[in-house]
Each structure stands twice: as structure tokens, then as C-alpha cells.
């Protein structure tokens, strides 16, 4: 039989002169239309025919673009075109007529209706399946005919083809690139298929096409070393690209350049291209773009399409998702949030496992809600990373959560372990953790407003915290069982490695460890406004602090401030000075405005310089046990030096309870505690009971252990001391008696050395 196909004389869109590619979109479909008015007359539908009359519908027909004329491109049939009918019969080459406006196809036999037609014949793969080629040839001034897939269906003798492809007319120019173009590749930034097998449903009401298998396969045009400025036409499936597309140009020197579209695009069937595609700086503009970036990074693929000229990945929109984002194993490229947020409404893990050394995450806010703990250890709660080896700068976390854990847990609102730098950042997310440990089981728990650990747990990389501000509550409540090896702080939970620095950090929120019927018995604990503790646990006695100094650390605090409330209310069955007559401090429960407990080095003590506390420090669990110490700056200290620090906050027992030693600056100075300069004007409040009868307190020290282990010089003193609600009468004539009212160690040797201090109301 002979099939006559008539080309409608349609024109396409206006002239296009672009530096970057541009798209328009529509859903893939083919529909039945009336025959062209200037085509041959059509007989009524026969059971079988030897001749069919057909036309091609749509704004753009086929199969070759003519020369641009007044902003429009005519399209015509080409010699060598072939079609396939009803899945099997392939036509001979097209016979061109009427200036390429019409073409006839000879099938050489009788074919019965209904008619299902595919162009080109090479696109047919199997019954109901077509194949869109991934590789396209460059054809000067037009598209590759083999990629211009069309479909038609008719139950009578009028056959009308419809395009299922869109044609991207791309011109590239650059002031910085002189190489010719080698290939042009287009890839979806989402999950839409660009090539491969597509299932086709032929029907009178219209044809539908759907990818046989979701993939992100690209389409690529191989170019014969084209000069910049030469147009390239790429055929892509007509469909909605929800996340946009990326166009990758490979130059003759094998360098590449990505041009990324922004947002969703609809590529309309039969359109050469639209006028107004917006191409912006490479970066992330939506959730799909972030997910594609994360997937590529995890696979070890190039992420150049998201990077600017400096190699930085930029976020240009606020992202919100209910579930966790794709967990990036190692963030190996710098990421700039430009003040935008990444929100996860049901978070259980951080964005990254590791931020690599040399990588910076900046100007990013993490937001949402923690709903459960996917994993304990150093990953729980963290919003940014489990481990930071790079730099987190000018970032904010607002993610909060009220969670329950039954096993060992470490948390930090920013990271689990900080082995890099966190600077100029703020935590506004509150963390409330209830530990429900099975009876008889003992687990560890660490946490802070920024990090659980101030270093990597292997101790190989020490972290720095600079100008970090915590405004989120850090509250841990133990209801059953026991937790040991603890430490909680407004900035960081624990430091057990050398070289960790806290500079210009500030806590403005409540940091609280509370027991409610727990089984800790002799477990020590340390809570601080900035840091929980800088001391390890005793060898072989993991529930004790190692105040004997088997391990010592040189942690530094400079310009740190606490204005929040620090509470350490942990059940402990011991009383102060019951470990032995010298009181080693290993079993103590400690609270400090800056740090709960420290063990420094003799040659490199823990240092606090220009630090201040104007918040409230509370310690105590019951009215029968006083194994708790509290200090305005430091709870318990060995080998520590304070220079020009200020203590003007409240130091007191928790409501209705007692404490062993409370000091305006340091609660219990075990050995080598030196204070020089600064101001001590605290409000120290003491509660006593008939048993135990001993309690120590002071404007500077609550208790010092032996002669020579503590000194204070050049400090301006003031403040108040209240015992059972009655204020002591402290004045310029007797204030030195209240620097340290040490009643636990009554020998004259158990007094701090005092020099150059003064009284100021």
C-alpha cells in the first residue's frame, strides 16, 4: 500500500539568540486531529486499505528545521525518512513532494485499521514500546531526525502524527572559553527519564507515553568540534522536569561547564524552544536539587554542576522536608547556605556524617524537630554532622526535640564530635532527653548545645569553639537505671583530649541534669554553662571522675560568659569528705557557670581568661547527702588558672536540698587553683541540716583541700552569703574571713593564700 503523509504549513517560535539553553514544557501525548484542509480527500473507514492519507499536527511538524526567517523556522520532511505501522510494517524511504511539504510512504501491502504509527521506524522496539536514543548526531541548523519521535493513531483512514519530543535550541558563548564544543549533554535534575525505553498506549482519545523504568539517563549530542556560538539542537522527551535540568558542555580540551536550570520546567511537545528559561549561578534551588547533589556526592560523581567558580556549593532557597534528607557520608566540598534554612520536620540524624578537613559550611540554618534517635553515640540529635573536621561558620540551629533513650547517647545540637572549628554560630534549639535505662544497666551520656565532644573521640583532632552562643535548653532527666561517664554543657559536653579551645562563647539557657529515682548511687557528674567537664573518668572506676590526674588536659577558655541557669541534681549516696580524710573529689557531682569539673596539667593548667558568670548555679539532690559542689565559674578544679574573671551570679543548692561546698568562683579546689584579678561579687546561699553537719562556702572558694593548693590575688570582692535564709554581715573589715569558709578541712593549712584583694560594695 501507499501511505500519503502531508506536512501542515506551521511555523515555530520567534528568533532566539541566547548564551544559555532555554526550555518550555508539556505532558507527553498524542491526539487525533482532523486532516489538513489542503490534503487529499479521505474515504470512509475500510476494513483494510492500500492507501492512507495522513498529516502531522502541532505547532512544529517534522522532520527538519529550515533556515530562520523573520524569527521563525519552517520544518519539512527529509529524504530517507521511514515510519513503522502497527508495530511491524516498515515503510520504504519517503517520497518527497510539494517542496517537502508532503511525503508518501510505500508499504507494499494491505494493512487493516486501527493504525498505530511510529516515526522514525528505528524508534519502534517492541509491541507497545519505543526507544528514545541517548546519543544524538549533530545536524547543522536542525535536530537529529532519528531523535524526533512522533506517534499517530487512527481507526479510519486519517492518520495524524504528534510529537512526543521537545527541541532545545542552544547557543553557547563565553568571554573566558576559547575551545570549541565537543559534546552537549542534557540531564534531568530529578528522576525523569531522558532516554531509553518508554511504554506507549495507543488510543482514539489520545496516546500516552511513560518511561518503562525511572532513571536519570542523559541525552547527548556529539558535535564535530563546533566553534562557540554555533547553535546545537537537542531533542528531549516532552514532559515536566520537576527539578529542572542541567546542560553540560564538554570542550575540545575535555574541560566541562555546567549550566543549570532553576525550578520546574515543562518541555512542550513539538516546540523548538521557549524564550525565557532562567539560568542562575550553579547551586541548589529546591529539595530535589539538594537530593540530587547528595546522591552524586555519595556516589563519588562530579558535583561541578552545583559549584560556583570557587568550588563552593550554594543554597539559594529554603528547603523543607518531612523525612530525613539523604545522609551525606562525607561533605568534601564547601557549602554556603546564604542565610537559607534546611528544615526536617521528622529528623533522626544529621545532614552529614563527616565534614571533611578544609571544608566550610557557612550561613546555613538547620530547623525542624527531632522525633526519634536513629542511632545513639555521637550521631544522636546532631543537625549538621556526626563529626566535624572542617569549619562551621555563621550558622544557626533551631531544631528542637523531646526524646527518650534507653541506651548510651551522645548529642550536640550542631555536631557529635567537633574536631574542627565552629565559629560565629548560634544554637536556638532546645534538647530534652529522658533516659529510661533498664534496671541494673549502666550507660554513658554526653551532650551540649553545640557538641557532645570537643574533639574527635580518638583524640587525634582537637576542636575550637569561637563566638558560639547557646540559647537552647539542654536538659537530661534520668528516670530509671543509671548513666555514668557523663558531662553536659551549654556549648559542649566533655573534653578528654589536649588542645580544645573555647573563645568568646556564651550560654544564655538552662543546662540541667536531673535524676528522678535513678540508680546512680556513687556516679559522678559534671554540668557547666559552657563545658560539662575537662577530666576523664577514673581507670577501673568509670563512674568516678579522675581527679587523681592519671590523665590531664590543657583546655582553654577565653572571654566566655554564662547568663543561664546551670543545675546538677544527681542522686549520689555519698557525703562530702567520705571517700577518705583528704577528699579526692572523684565521686563528686559538680556544677559550674563556665565548667563543671577540670583536671589540667601542672605546666599547662586549664585556663579561664576574661570569663564571667552572672547566671545561677545550683547543685544538690537531697537533704541527707551533700556530695555536690558548685562554683560560679568552676565546680571542681585541679590545676586551673583564672585571670581577670568575673563572678556575679547566684550559687546555691537546688530547692530544698543541701550541697557540700559552694563557692562564688570555684566550688572545690582540689589542687593548684590560682585566681588573679577580676571580680567576685556572688550571691551564695547555703542550706544546712543536722546531719551531715559540715558545709563549706565562700565568696571565692567553697572549699580548698590543703595549704598551697589555692591562691587568690588582686580580686575585687563583694556580694553576699546567706545561711538558711539569714544574710551574713560581711564588710570591708571581715570580708577576708568569707573568701573561703572551709569547715571540711579545719587545719590552718587548708586555707587559700590571699593577697592584694579589696572589698567593694
Give the cell for residue 655.
530547692
The torsion angles phi and psi of 306, rounded to 5 degrees, stand at: -100, -5
Per-residue exposure over 650-685, b if at least 16 CB sit within 10 Å of its own CB, e if not: bbbbbeebbbbbbbbbbbbbbbbbbbbbbbbbbbbb
How much is the pLDDT for 55? 45
pTM (2 decimals)?
Answer: 0.75
The C-alpha atoms of residue 383 and residue 364 are separated, in whole angstroms, by 11
Three-class DSSP labels, 83-141: CEECCCEECCCCEEECCCCEEEEECCCCEECCEEEEECHHHEEECCEEEECCEEECECC
The C-alpha atoms of residue 512 and residue 616 are separated, in whole angstroms, by 11
Segment among 109-118, 325-334, 406-415, 463-472 with least mean pLDDT: 109-118
Give the confidence band of 728 by pLDDT, cuts at 50, 70, 90. Answer: very high
- Other CB atoms within a 10 A radius of the CB of residue 245 amount to 23
The C-alpha atoms of residue 706 and residue 62 are separated, in whole angstroms, by 98
Going from the C-alpha of 352 to that of each of 39, 295, 380, 387, 684, the distances in angstroms are 63, 12, 12, 8, 44
**290 secondary structure, DSSP code:** H
Output the CA torsion sign for 187, 191, 195, 201.
Answer: negative
Residue 376 has pLDDT above 70, yes or no: no
- Which residues 6+ apart lie within 8 Å of 538 measured at CB? 544, 545, 546, 548, 550, 586
Give the confidence band of 259 by pLDDT, cuts at 50, 70, 90. Answer: confident
Per the DSSP assignment, residues forming a β-bridge with 4 are 53, 104
The C-alpha atoms of residue 305 and residue 261 are separated, in whole angstroms, by 10
Task: List the beta strands (DSSP E) in 316-420.
Answer: 319-321, 328-331, 335-347, 352-355, 360-370, 385-388, 391-393, 396-397, 400-405, 409-412, 415-418
Segment among 198-202, 377-381, 648-652 with least mean pLDDT: 377-381
Residue 567 has pLDDT above 50, yes or no: yes
How much is the pLDDT for 597? 97
Residue 72 has pLDDT above 80, yes or no: no
Q: Which residue has the higher pLDDT, 195 or 75?
A: 195
- Other CB atoms within a 10 A radius of the CB of residue 491 amount to 35
Contact criterion met (CB below 8 Å) for 114 and 153: yes
The C-alpha atoms of residue 483 and residue 476 are separated, in whole angstroms, by 11
Q: Looking at residues 310-337, what average pLDDT do you find?
A: 95
Give the cell for residue 457.
573521640
Residue 274 has pLDDT above 50, yes or no: no
How much is the pLDDT for 98? 67
Q: What is the average pLDDT value for the chain, to the nearest integer?
A: 83
Segment among 37-46, 101-110, 263-272, 624-633 with least mean pLDDT: 37-46
Q: Looking at residues 710-721, what average pLDDT do you find?
A: 96
Q: Looking at residues 658-663, what average pLDDT do you find?
A: 94
How much is the pLDDT for 29? 30
How much is the pLDDT for 582? 57
Q: Which residue has the higher pLDDT, 607 or 692?
A: 607
Per the DSSP assignment, residues forming a β-bridge with 3 are 52, 105
Residue 318 has pLDDT above 80, yes or no: yes
Burial class (CB in 10 A: 0-12, 13-18, 19+), 734: exposed
Give the confidence band of 173 by pLDDT, cuts at 50, 70, 90. Answer: low
**295 secondary structure, DSSP code:** H
**For residue range 455-477, what is the model confidence (pLDDT) as tens digits?**
998 778 999 999 999 999 999 99
How much is the pLDDT for 485? 85
**For residue range 5-64, what is the model confidence (pLDDT) as tens digits?**
333 223 333 222 222 222 222 222 333 232 222 222 233 333 454 444 444 444 433 444
Considering just the CA atoms, what is the radius of gyration of the chain in Å?
38
Give the cell for residue 504.
568568646
Segment among 217-226, 233-242, 376-385, 713-722 with least mean pLDDT: 376-385
Q: What percent of the chain has pLDDT over 90?
A: 51
Segment among 158-172, 534-548, 583-597 with least mean pLDDT: 158-172
CA dihedral 359, 362, 364, 365 (to 10 degrees): 100
Give the confidence band of 421 by pLDDT, cuts at 50, 70, 90. Answer: very high
The C-alpha atoms of residue 157 and residue 327 are separated, in whole angstroms, by 57
Q: Following DSSP, what letter does each residue of 392-455 receive, concatenated?
A: EES-EE--EEEEEESS-EEEESSEEEESSEEES-EE---EEEEEEPPTT-EEEEEEESSEEESB
Give the cell for residue 658.
543541701
Segment among 93-107, 144-158, 536-550, 589-603 with least mean pLDDT: 93-107
Amino acid at each position: 500500500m501507499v501511505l500519503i503523509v502531508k506536512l501542515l504549513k506551521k511555523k515555530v517560535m520567534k528568533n532566539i539568540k541566547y548564551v544559555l539553553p532555554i526550555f518550555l514544557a508539556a505532558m507527553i501525548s498524542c491526539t487525533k486531529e482532523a486532516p489538513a484542509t489542503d490534503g487529499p480527500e479521505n474515504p470512509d473507514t475500510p476494513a483494510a486499505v492500500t492507501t492512507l492519507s495522513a498529516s502531522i499536527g502541532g505547532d512544529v511538524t517534522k522532520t527538519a528545521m529550515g533556515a530562520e526567517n523573520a524569527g521563525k523556522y519552517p520544518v519539512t520532511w527529509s529524504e530517507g525518512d521511514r515510519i513503522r505501522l502497527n508495530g511491524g510494517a516498515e515503510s520504504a524511504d519517503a517520497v518527497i513532494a510539494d517542496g517537502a511539504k508532503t511525503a508518501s510512504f510505500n508499504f507494499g501491502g494491505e494493512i487493516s485499521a486501527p493504525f498505530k504509527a511510529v516515526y522514525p521506524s528505528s524508534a519502534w522496539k517492541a509491541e507497545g514500546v519505543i526507544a528514545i536514543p541517548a546519543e544524538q548526531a549533530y545536524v547543522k541548523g536542525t535536530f537529529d531526525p532519528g531523535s524526533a519521535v512522533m506517534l499517530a493513531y487512527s481507526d479510519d483512514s486519517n492518520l495524524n502524527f504528534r510529537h512526543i519530543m521537545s527541541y532545545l535550541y542552544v547557543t553557547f558563548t563565553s568571554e573566558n572559553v576559547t575551545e570549541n564544543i565537543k559534546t552537549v549533554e542534557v540531564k534531568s535534575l530529578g528522576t525523569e527519564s531522558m532516554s531509553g525505553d518508554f511504554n506507549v498506549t495507543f488510543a482514539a482519545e489520545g496516546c500516552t507515553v511513560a518511561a518503562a523504568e525511572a532513571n536519570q539517563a542523559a541525552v547527548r549530542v556529539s558535535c564535530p568540534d563546533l566553534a562557540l556560538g554555533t547553535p546545537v539542537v537537542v531533542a528531549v522527551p516532552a514532559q515536566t522536569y520537576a527539578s529542572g535540568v542541567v546542560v553540560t558542555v564538554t570542550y575540545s580540551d575535555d574541560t566541562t561547564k555546567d549550566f543549570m536550570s532553576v525550578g520546574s520546567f515543562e518541555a512542550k511537545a513539538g516546540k523548538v524552544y521557549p524564550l525565557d528559561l532562567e539560568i542562575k549561578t550553579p547551586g541548589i534551588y529546591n529539595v530535589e536539587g539538594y537530593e540530587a547533589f547528595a546522591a552524586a556526592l555519595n556516589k563519588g560523581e562530579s558535583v561541578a554542576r552545583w559549584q560556583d567558580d570557587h568550588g563552593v556549593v550554594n543554597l539559594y532557597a529554603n528547603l523543607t522536608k518531612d523525612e530525613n534528607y539523604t545522609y551525606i557520608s562525607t561533605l568534601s566540598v564547601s557549602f554556603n547556605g546564604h542565610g537559607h534554612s534546611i528544615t526536617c520536620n521528622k529528623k533522626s540524624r544529621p545532614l552529614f556524617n563527616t565534614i571533611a578537613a578544609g571544608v566550610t559550611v557557612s550561613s546555613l540554618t538547620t530547623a525542624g524537630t527531632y522525633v526519634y534517635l536513629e542511632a545513639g553515640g555521637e550521631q544522636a540529635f546532631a543537625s549538621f554532622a556526626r563529626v566535624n573536621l572542617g569549619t562551621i561558620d555563621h550558622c544557626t540551629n533551631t531544631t528542637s526535640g523531646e526524646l527518650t533513650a534507653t541506651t548510651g547517647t551522645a548529642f550536640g545540637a550542631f555536631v557529635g564530635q567537633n574536631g574542627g572549628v565552629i565559629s560565629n554560630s548560634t544554637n536556638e534549639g532546645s534538647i530534652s532527653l529522658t533516659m529510661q535505662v533498664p534496671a541494673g544497666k549502666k550507660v554513658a551520656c554526653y551532650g551540649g548545645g553545640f557538641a557532645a565532644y570537643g574533639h574527635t573521640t580518638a583524640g587525634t583532632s582537637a576542636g575550637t569553639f569561637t563566638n558560639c552562643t547557646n540559647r537552647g535548653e539542654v536538659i537530661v532527666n534520668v528516670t530509671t537505671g543509671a548513666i555514668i561517664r557523663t558531662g553536659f554543657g551549654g556549648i559542649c559536653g566533655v573534653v578528654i583530649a589536649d588542645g580544645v579551645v573555647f573563645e568568646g562563647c556564651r550560654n544564655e539557657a538552662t543546662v540541667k541534669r536531673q535524676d528522678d529515682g535513678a540508680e546512680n548511687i556513687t556516679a559522678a557528674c559534671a554540668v557547666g554553662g559552657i563545658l560539662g567537664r575537662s577530666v576523664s573518668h577514673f581507670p577501673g572506676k568509670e563512674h568516678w571522675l579522675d581527679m587523681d590526674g592519671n590523665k590531664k588536659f590543657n583546655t582553654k577558655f577565653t572571654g566566655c560568659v554564662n547568663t543561664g541557669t546551670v543545675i546538677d541534681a544527681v542522686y549520689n549516696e555519698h557525703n562530702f569528705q567520705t571517700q577518705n580524710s583528704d577528699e579526692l573529689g572523684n565521686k563528686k557531682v559538680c556544677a559550674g557557670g563556665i565548667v563543671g569539673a577540670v583536671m589540667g596539667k601542672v605546666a599547662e593548667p586549664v585556663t579561664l581568661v576574661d570569663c564571667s558568670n552572672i547566671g545561677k548555679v545550683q547543685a544538690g539532690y537531697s537533704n541527707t547527702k551533700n556530695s555536690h559542689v558548685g562554683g560560679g565559674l568552676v565546680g571542681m578544679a585541679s590545676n586551673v588558672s583564672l585571670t581577670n574573671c568575673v563572678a556575679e551570679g547566684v550559687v546555691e543548692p537546688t530547692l530544698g536540698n543541701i550541697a557540700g561546698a559552694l563557692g562564688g568562683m570555684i566550688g572545690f579546689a582540689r589542687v593548684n587553683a590560682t585566681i588573679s584579678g577580676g571580680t567576685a561579687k556572688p550571691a551564695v546561699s547555703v542550706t544546712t541540716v543536722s546531719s551531715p553537719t559540715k558545709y563549706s562556702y565562700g565568696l571565692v572558694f567553697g572549699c580548698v583541700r590543703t595549704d598551697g593548693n589555692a591562691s587568690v590575688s588582686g580580686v575585687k570582692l563583694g556580694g553576699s552569703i546567706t545561711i538558711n535564709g539569714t544574710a551574713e554581715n560581711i564588710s570591708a573589715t571581715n570580708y577576708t574571713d568569707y573568701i573561703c569558709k572551709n569547715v571540711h578541712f579545719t587545719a590552718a593549712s587548708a586555707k587559700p593564700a590571699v593577697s592584694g584583694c579589696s572589698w567593694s560594695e
